[in-house]
Amino acid sequence: MKEDYYKILGINKSASKDDVKKAFHKMAHKYHPDKKGGDEALFKKASEAYTVLSDDKKRSEYDSYGRVFSDGSGGGQGFDFNDFGGQGFDFSQFAQQAQGGNVEFDLGDLFGGMFGGRGARTKRGNDISVDIELPFKDAIFGVNRKISLTKNSVCEDCDGSGAKAGSEMVSCSICNGKGQIHETKRSILGTFSTVKTCDTCNGKGRVAKDKCKSCAGYGINKKQSEISINIPSGINNGEMIRLAGAGEAISGGMSGDLYIKVHVTPDKNFRKEGFNLVTDLNIKLTDALLGAEYNLDTLDGKLKLQIPAGVTIGEVLRIKGRGVPTGGTKRGDILVKLNIQLPTKLNRKASKLVSELRKEGV
């Protein structure tokens, strides 16, 4: 039975593109085979589902026909058994014949051959998912981070060709220099001819006479790579960054992607709310009544905050242009929430002063 891409990602058919992306990122992070407890099969299913449902054209075809034809695997129209002989087929008859040893068929091979088969798809390397810890200040202002990964990369000595320097290129003996292999398949509906990319020359039709020693002719090798990541300003905890082509390389195909999940370390003073930074400030009762000046430690350094006379509990003071960058030179604000500290005990002198205030109606 064909996989239900919506069910795989745990979303409904009305899900937005953003919902599709979030669902895939969640599964990619959980099931990536390089992670402890990962599941390669589930990760591949999620990747396939995301490839289809994130593309408007492919998603439309999938919703209409239950499969995709716009990726080079088909002729652009649905399959109808009535096109063969003018009437439908009763597959129960063929199943009975197969049990009797009269017929051998594989529906997967049949439909794969009719629509181009797996060989028509572009090969793609595995995606990689990593987690990084980020200080609160770096998450607010953005930063460039470098990480080291050991992964399959394009061989630097042969630039991915698999050939030794100066080696002569000769015709591929497997596909006779055509880059493709034709296969004939017999099925219940007749004989079908399929075409797939030659795995030996990766569709080029030519191979190196002398192989590169560094990669043994594969064009890729496992090595440690340093990757530079530009963390944008204002990134939130748990957000994912995607670097296209920075995943695992594969011979004769496209490299996978690199997904970086960001974990932001909380700040002891500030919390992020949109483009604003919010903090709580404890002030004395007398300062609330008479006004005062307080030193405030911000992400930009110290600044003096003027507390106006007569502020109330929970009142918020705004410091403009000292919050999260919003693009260009503009920034959000700092919001200071005031907490007036009331004394729990009063000495004799303080009690007398408060009593005088009571007489004044304060």
Q: What is the pLDDT of residues 171-184, one digit of tens each?
A: 888 888 888 887 77
Distance between CA 119 and CA 71 in Å, rounded? 12
Per-residue pLDDT, averaged over 303-307, amounts to 95
| Residues 6+ positions from 117 with CB-CB distance below 8 Å | 73, 194, 195, 196
CATH 1.10.287.110 residue window(s) in the chain: 1-78
- Report which of 129, 170, 135, 357 is spatially closest to residue 260, judged by C-alpha positions: 129
Fold of 271-359: HSP40/DNAj peptide-binding domain (2.60.260)
Q: How far is CA 67 from the centre of its chain?
A: 23
Instruction: Compute φ and ψ for 326, nearest 5 degrees.
Output: -110, 0
Q: What is the pLDDT of residues 246-291, one digit of tens each?
A: 999 988 788 999 999 999 999 999 999 999 999 999 999 999 999 9
CATH 2.60.260.20 residue window(s) in the chain: 271-359
Verdict on whether the full-model pTM lies above 0.85:
no
> According to DSSP H, which parts of the chain are helical?
5-9, 17-31, 40-53, 56-65, 91-99, 107-114, 136-141, 285-290, 348-359
Instruction: Compute φ and ψ for 35, nearest 5 degrees.
Output: -90, 155
Burial class (CB in 10 A: 0-12, 13-18, 19+), 279: middle
Fold of 1-78: Helix Hairpins (1.10.287)
Distance between CA 67 and CA 64 in Å, rounded? 8
Distance between CA 259 and CA 248 in Å, rounded? 12
Q: What is the pLDDT of residues 121-167, one digit of tens each?
A: 568 899 999 999 999 999 999 999 999 999 999 888 888 878 888 78
Q: What is the pLDDT of residues 46-78, one digit of tens each?
A: 888 898 898 888 888 788 777 776 544 433 333
Q: What is the pLDDT of residue 262?
A: 95
Q: What is the pLDDT of residue 92?
A: 41
Distance between CA 165 and CA 10 in Å, rounded? 50
